[in-house]
Amino acid sequence: MLTRSASYSDRETAQLLGGWFSQDIVDEFLGHDAAVTDYAQTTNPQLVAHLVGELHELLALPLDEGDYALAAAELGMEVGPPEPFSHGAWFQSLAATLSGV
């Protein structure tokens, strides 16, 4: 993926899920962790921080696992979360991982 600047205005969660977690993930990355690493390395840190905030906002909503799966699909994710995670648990893990970037 190309490096992007902080002026990019799309919702960052949709950018990550739709851009890095399409059906092409198997052709581009060795797995979810490699895709997240690529995102973190090629994205402005301000946008990464914005994504973490968006994930925390999503996780604060009173949603069940089906709602998280629907949200992931609506935000462009075309593959499931990595084993053994549910969508909600993976969003929590993703936020924690990217908080340390």
Predicted confidence (pLDDT) per residue in 41-57, tens digit: 999 999 999 999 999 99
Chain segment 75-85, per-residue pLDDT in tens:
999 999 999 99
Residue 1 has pLDDT above 80, yes or no: no
What pLDDT does residue 63 have?
95
- Determine the average pLDDT of the residues in 7-27: 82
- The identity of residue 47, as a single letter, is L
Residue from 22, 89, 93, 10 nearest 50 by CA = 10
Q: What is the largest CA-CA distance in the chain?
A: 35
Q: What's the pTM value of the predicted model, to 2 decimals?
A: 0.85
